[in-house]
Chains A and B, each alone.
Chain A
């Protein structure tokens, strides 16, 4: 069977599963007792394993298989989640992700996962090789004290032996720590026991003991005719044996041990947590978070499957392009119809206009994607980052369902990553500093997305130390961005915006997280290139808020077409306040700048023909001038034009890579007659 046709489906679904695994793991970390999340994780892992095996990606399948083993123990209450297990599982997810990435890039999905597989297997065996050596010993000790749990088969064998009059012993053997060849000693114990009975079950397993994978002690269930004391003495006769306890079991105690076994193993890892307080910061902070917000982590249960189909992004782009062409033709048709003055034609064209309007809405909606597709990787990123920086940070995401045009979504990821890293690295203080400032040790980073008018806002707010405007100014002067005199005129708010100036980085210590100097200016230019804006607000001691404003869509806007001599320009309707006519006599000259009166105040009059050096039009020769009043924030400017042509939906095209950025021009569009008209960027005229 040819698998290639399924490959893209496999990649898509794998990514979905990995994402849901990541999310569920985060949820579980915040809520380690919630076994329903484990079920969700288990199902995802299981599906992933099945798909990988079918597609022949063996490494992928085997790694997921090991993860499944661990998860299986957890969901059956045989293992309790703890830091080390979380870390290993997260590492496994990273490995899986890189494998899927490799497959996406046309690779075989092969990777050396032996280290991760080994630690997963160790977890399944009940060994917790925690980073702290002490913890490992405690864990081993705890495991040794706990009776070995038996499966059903072994239990029934023991029970039967008892009924037949044999004796069942539970034997704990400890070998002296200075023993050189502990595996050999263990073998001798086994050999001795096998001579006068049968070992039903040992912990660790016989294979592990043979490979010295045990910690100087082991325990076993043993069927024999001899008395417990006899066996104890026999074993003690061997050299280098430290301690032996042999306990005879009756049916009652056997049953009890069988039941307790489960509970005991579940309790066993508990001492590890106390032994390694340094490494269990995250469950603690998670618990803390729960107390504070009082809201459990969202659990994603498999609700009703939405009826969707996957469509190649390129096809959507083609659809969009075709639709743009149609729109151009529609505008052309409208022009022709108005010239011909035929009622039937006009009606048909009007109807077509309405239909294409609806069509446009649908096509635009198709391209809208919830910001969640970008946000969903952030919780994991912030978690890892906070851990590596030894900080406690809660990321609170709101408005993830807010929708944005796909082109914006594609581009906004990197700038947001940068801002979030900043918030975690520079924004939120270290635990000590936070406590010293009288704050809770856990910092909060809010990631918010919401609609407002024709824009979507994404805010990243931390409750950290805030920004010191004076420090910014000093740094800017030192770096030659500002002169001392200029700096004196800066308000605090203006000073903070200097963060976005090229070549600015306030980090006193350059960490590998952020602060390499290429920073916020790149973020800013990226966001501006998307037609958006970013500003920063900060209150010292309270925190910092980066607010990113993005346009809802990039490709089609309503615009006013104007004429300047033989040239046509488009002005985005969203920034137009009003159009009007002013007489020559109404234009005043103030300090050499032309101003006109507008709503009881005077606003600057900008001559587009002069700025664009239009060859065949000059408004100063006219008695009356048409003006378009445009707005940027609170500021208004009047643009002088020759004629208004009308209002149109226009498709935004860029000017091509070759053209350097042209001041006052944000792009181009194709008119109904096939000519190119430039789109004016009114913001450029308002300083």
Chain B
């Protein structure tokens, strides 16, 4: 048996996603966001997180899902990858689970409209829950953004 990892579970729409807990710094409630002009539409702006200015991106927008109104459940997950600190706006984040690495399968080509390259794999938990593990470096890859924009544009 491979090792267990701890995973933060969050929701975008009906899908459940997971990020390894080591990569998550904190989870914050919504707070005032200062808009940054002339940048990608999914970059919502910057926040002041205890004296540090951190850019925030809407994960729905990043994956090309229709953006939703923010609710009481909306959270900002602050992750740190490759010395970058970024906040993800997600619909809700309320679970931490232990996941055995053996339970993670390689992802099919497209899951919930998200390209496979953004995913590390898909894990089955329990009988009917599917957890999509995110590949954060790819999600934050800027070269990818340029292509994405040109496709959209």
Residues of A within 8 A of B (CB): 321, 324-325, 328, 567, 611-614, 653-660, 662-665, 668, 670, 674-678
Query: Chain B interface residue count: which class?
Result: 20 to 34
Q: Chain B 28-63 against A: per-residue CB contact (8 Å), 1 yes, 0 no?
A: 000010111111000101111001111101000000
Complex: A567 Cα to B32 Cα, angstroms: 12
Least distance between A367 CB and chain B CB atoms (Å): 18
Complex: A567 Cα to B39 Cα, angstroms: 16
Inter-subunit contact A325/B55 (CB<8 Å): no
Inter-subunit contact A668/B46 (CB<8 Å): yes
Inter-subunit contact A676/B34 (CB<8 Å): yes
Least distance between A648 CB and chain B CB atoms (Å): 16
Say yes or no: is B85 at the interface (Cβ < 8 Å to chain A): yes
Complex: A468 Cα to B118 Cα, angstroms: 51
Contact of B83 among A328, A613, A657, A665 (CB under 8 A): A657
Least distance between B105 CB and chain A CB atoms (Å): 30
Contact of B39 among A611, A662, A676 (CB under 8 A): A662
Contact of B52 among A653, A659, A663 (CB under 8 A): A653
Least distance between B23 CB and chain A CB atoms (Å): 14
Complex: A660 Cα to B34 Cα, angstroms: 16
Complex: A480 Cα to B51 Cα, angstroms: 45
Contact of A668 among B53, B83, B84, B142 (CB under 8 A): B53
Say yes or no: is B86 at the interface (Cβ < 8 Å to chain A): yes
Least distance between A613 CB and chain B CB atoms (Å): 6
Say yes or no: is B140 at the interface (Cβ < 8 Å to chain A): yes
**Given A567-B34, A657-B83, A658-B84, are A321 and B51 also a contact pair (CB < 8 Å)?**
yes
Q: Which 8 A-B pairs have the closest CB atoms?
A: A612-B37, A676-B34, A653-B53, A657-B84, A668-B53, A659-B55, A658-B84, A656-B55
Complex: A663 Cα to B37 Cα, angstroms: 9
Complex: A419 Cα to B36 Cα, angstroms: 36
Complex: A613 Cα to B41 Cα, angstroms: 12
Q: Which residues of B contact A676 (CB under 8 A)?
A: 34, 45-48, 53
Inter-subunit contact B53/A654 (CB<8 Å): yes
Contact of B36 among A328, A657, A665 (CB under 8 A): A665
Inter-subunit contact A613/B37 (CB<8 Å): yes
**Given A674-B48, A675-B32, A675-B48, are A656 and B37 also a contact pair (CB < 8 Å)?**
no
Inter-subunit contact B54/A668 (CB<8 Å): no
- The A-contacting residues of B in range 68-127, CB under 8 angstroms, are 83-86
Inter-subunit contact A611/B84 (CB<8 Å): no
Q: Which residues of B contact A612 (CB under 8 A)?
A: 37-38
Q: List 17 A-B contacts (CB under 8 A).
A: A321-B51, A325-B51, A656-B86, A657-B83, A658-B55, A658-B84, A658-B142, A664-B38, A665-B38, A668-B46, A670-B53, A674-B48, A675-B34, A675-B48, A676-B46, A677-B34, A678-B34
Inter-subunit contact B38/A663 (CB<8 Å): yes
Inter-subunit contact A655/B55 (CB<8 Å): yes
Complex: A664 Cα to B55 Cα, angstroms: 17
Q: Which residues of B contact A670 (CB under 8 A)?
A: 48, 51, 53
Complex: A659 Cα to B32 Cα, angstroms: 18
Inter-subunit contact B53/A656 (CB<8 Å): yes
Least distance between A671 CB and chain B CB atoms (Å): 9
Complex: A328 Cα to B51 Cα, angstroms: 9
Q: Which residues of B contact A614 (CB under 8 A)?
A: 37
- The A-contacting residues of B in range 120-153, CB under 8 angstroms, are 140, 142
Inter-subunit contact A662/B36 (CB<8 Å): yes
Contact of B86 among A325, A658, A660 (CB under 8 A): A658
Complex: A668 Cα to B45 Cα, angstroms: 11
Inter-subunit contact B51/A324 (CB<8 Å): yes
Inter-subunit contact A611/B37 (CB<8 Å): yes
Q: Which residues of B contact A567 (CB under 8 A)?
A: 34-35
Complex: A321 Cα to B53 Cα, angstroms: 13
Q: Which residues of B contact A674 (CB under 8 A)?
A: 48
Question: What 4 new A-B contacts, CB under 8 Å, besides A654-B53, A656-B53?
Answer: A612-B38, A658-B86, A660-B142, A668-B46
Least distance between B75 CB and chain A CB atoms (Å): 19
Q: Which residues of B contact A668 (CB under 8 A)?
A: 34, 46, 53
Inter-subunit contact A662/B55 (CB<8 Å): no
Q: Which residues of A contact B84 (CB under 8 A)?
A: 656-658
Least distance between B25 CB and chain A CB atoms (Å): 13
Complex: A262 Cα to B53 Cα, angstroms: 71
Complex: A576 Cα to B33 Cα, angstroms: 27
Q: Which residues of A contact B39 (CB under 8 A)?
A: 659-660, 662
Q: Which residues of A contact B36 (CB under 8 A)?
A: 655, 659, 662, 665, 678
Inter-subunit contact A665/B54 (CB<8 Å): no
Q: Which residues of B contact A325 (CB under 8 A)?
A: 51
Q: Which residues of A contact B54 (CB under 8 A)?
A: 656
Q: Which residues of A contact B83 (CB under 8 A)?
A: 657
**Given A668-B46, A674-B48, are A656 and B85 also a contact pair (CB < 8 Å)?**
yes
Least distance between B51 CB and chain A CB atoms (Å): 6
Complex: A675 Cα to B46 Cα, angstroms: 9
Q: Which residues of B contact A663 (CB under 8 A)?
A: 38
Least distance between A46 CB and chain B CB atoms (Å): 44
Complex: A282 Cα to B22 Cα, angstroms: 58
Least distance between A654 CB and chain B CB atoms (Å): 7
Complex: A325 Cα to B51 Cα, angstroms: 7
Q: Which residues of B contact A324 (CB under 8 A)?
A: 51
Complex: A641 Cα to B43 Cα, angstroms: 24
Q: Which residues of B contact A613 (CB under 8 A)?
A: 37-38
Contact of A655 among B32, B46, B51 (CB under 8 A): B46
Identify the closest chain A residue to B37 (Cβ).
A612
Inter-subunit contact A662/B38 (CB<8 Å): yes
Identify the closest chain B residue to A566 (Cβ).
B35
Q: Which residues of A contact B51 (CB under 8 A)?
A: 321, 324-325, 328, 670
Q: Max chain B CB contacts within 10 Å: which of A659, A660, A665, A677?
A: A659
Complex: A614 Cα to B52 Cα, angstroms: 24
Complex: A663 Cα to B39 Cα, angstroms: 9
